[in-house]
Amino acid sequence: MLALPALALPLAALMPATPAFAQFSESYKFLDSVRKKEGDKVNEALQVPGTQIVNTRDVSTGESALHIVTARRDLLWMQFLVGKGANVNIHNNKGETPLVIAANLGFLEGVDFLISVGARVDEPNNTGETPLISAVHVRNMALVRSLLKAGANPDHPDNSGRSARDYAALDKNTAMSEELDAAAAKKKQQDKGGQTYGPTF
């Protein structure tokens, strides 16, 4: 007779874990559907009232749905997810935002879109690498110009203390160095108030 309550204890102990497990399961299924481009299933998950699943993250990588679709250069899905409330400045476990990933890939359309919806242009990853530093590393001048136009700081250092300008100089990329130097000079002028006195030549 005493055996029944003894068996019931472990079962009762498992009960509080059920909602958390269910939530994990739903998150996993949602991200899996995003990876497989299963539009109907993704839409169904996003239509649940009050859901925040659009910003759920993979437990092992920290990747959100927006990270996943950015990494596959899928502008249509990026636009869809942002329209559903995806956080454009969310970090994965490496500290990468979708903008950092797009810059690493040289994905100009993705970079321009993310900037247009509020991505922070100087947000670094865990090593301090900004999207602009990534653009210099991949030697993508169009990407560099786009980020500079959006206000990226050419002198923002990574964890080693080097900036985008430093890396361009180390790479002996004269054209890119000139572009970054001009942006740095313009930023310095703006920081001073943007006013000049006397003639300029």
Query: Would you say 31 and 65 are in contact if contact means Cβ atoms under 8 Å apart?
Result: yes
Q: Which residues pair with 64 in a beta bridge?
A: 57
- Protein fold of 126-189: 1.25.40
Query: Would you say 81 and 98 are in contact if contact means Cβ atoms under 8 Å apart?
Result: no
Determine the distance from the C-alpha atom of residue 188 to the mean position of all C-alpha atoms in its chain, rounded to a whole number: 27
Which of 74, 78, 70, 122 lies closest to 101 in space, CA to CA? 70
Compute the distance between CA of residue 190 and CA of residue 195 in angstroms, rounded to an integer: 8
Which of 31, 77, 86 lies closest to 58 in space, CA to CA? 31
Q: C-alpha angle with apex 164: 158 to 165, nearest 5 degrees? A: 125
Enumerate the domain spans of the chain: 23-120, 126-189
State whether residue 96 is helix, strand or coil: coil
One pLDDT digit (tens) per residue for the chain, 201 residues: 444 444 444 444 444 444 554 556 899 999 999 999 999 999 999 999 989 999 999 999 999 999 999 999 999 999 999 999 999 999 999 999 999 999 999 999 999 999 999 999 999 999 999 999 999 999 999 999 999 999 999 999 999 999 999 999 999 989 999 999 999 998 888 887 755 444 444
Note whether 23-120 and 126-189 share their fold.
yes
Residue 145: predicted pLDDT: 96
What CATH number has the domain spanning 23-120? 1.25.40.20
DSSP assignment of 10-32 equals HHHHHTTHHHHHHHHHHHHHHHH
Question: Encoding tokens for residue 130?
Answer: 């900004």
What's the alpha-carbon Rg for the chain, to the nearest Å? 23
- Rounded to the nearest 10 degrees, the angle between the axes of helix 39-46 and helix 17-35 is 140
Query: Would you say 77 and 34 are in contact if contact means Cβ atoms under 8 Å apart?
Result: yes
